[in-house]
Homo-oligomer: A and B are copies of this chain.
């Protein structure tokens, strides 16, 4: 493949990723006259769509991003973020970054079209993706806001789920937390788990066992989601007997894990946690490599909200700007 450079000059600030963290870093970087360039990525399918703009592009209604009391759709919100970043001079490149050479400065990054670009500072804001079962109706209903979701904290408080029977798929701490959260709204919460014991900590398990409106369905896997426009139920298969059954629920929440988008950092020397998240050692956005910063879900296994990711994007841009200034690059 022919190797070319998108621009002759070395970028001051290159941002990888275009969710809340990436665009917020761009707004701050642009206002600091760093003329940032954002690599927004190309659309993918794995198994759910992965779009420029990130996880919010699959979110119909965002009620908890402060500033929008009536709610806002995920794609609309990301459009506003991008417009604001572009207003101050952010440039946008419709490519993924596929490889990073952080061994010498300025850094050299390779884009998905084979081109390379050099940058003095890099902010990694590539996010994470929820893990899905990969069922056709699961993804279709999730995309249309039809009651299938991978985030109870984001979506659980929506009116459509109030006083309805709901189900959570998973057996870890996150699944227990999502299920426990949903018990506040739902008439009943089923936890669907493929094995006969939970991976969650004892304390988290106990919260579910103690909840009067929660019930664990052991040795079950979902094999289909029922409903044309809204989730009407889930078809289950028993992993021991093979027996199939139907569970009538109005909402289905996946809690089988998240995968941070850090595969492109293989060999880059960036420190990752054992789950693949970028390791930020302190309260800054500094990675272990000077001049490389991270923000948003790619460095956050705990909170994973639009507003917390945006806050981290702001921090990363300010950290990058201070570091660039200390290097005499302004």
Contact = CB atoms under 8 A, between A and B. Distances in A.
A80 B64 contact: no
A307 B69 CA distance: 16
Interface residues of A, number: 57
Interface in A138-187: 153, 157, 177, 180-181, 183-185
Number of copies: 2
Contacts of A28: 64, 305
B67 A33 contact: no
Nearest to A318: B303
B66 A81 contact: yes
**Chain A binding surface SS class:** helix
A330 interface: yes
Given A69-B83, A69-B84, A330-B184, A157 B31 contact: yes
Interface stretch (A19-27, A108-116, A222-230, A262-270): A19-27
Interface stretch (A38-46, A124-132, A190-198, A309-317): A309-317
Contacts of A24: 66, 307
Contacts of A308: 311-312, 314-315
A261 interface: no
Contacts of A312: 308, 311
Most buried by B among A63, A67, A180: A67
Contacts of A309: 311
A94 B244 CA distance: 57
A66 B23 CA distance: 8
Contacts of A88: 63, 157
A280 interface: yes
A69 B313 CA distance: 17
Contacts of A326: 203, 207
Contacts of A4: none
A303 B330 contact: no
A221 to B, nearest CB: 27
A283 interface: yes
A173 to B, nearest CB: 10
A69 to B, nearest CB: 4
Contact of A303 (B67, B282, B305, B314): B314
Most buried by B among A24, A66, A313: A66
Contacts of A32: 153, 157, 181, 184
Interface string A72-84: 1000010011011
CB-CB nearest 8 A-B residue pairs? A311-B311, A69-B84, A69-B83, A33-B184, A308-B311, A31-B157, A307-B314, A24-B66
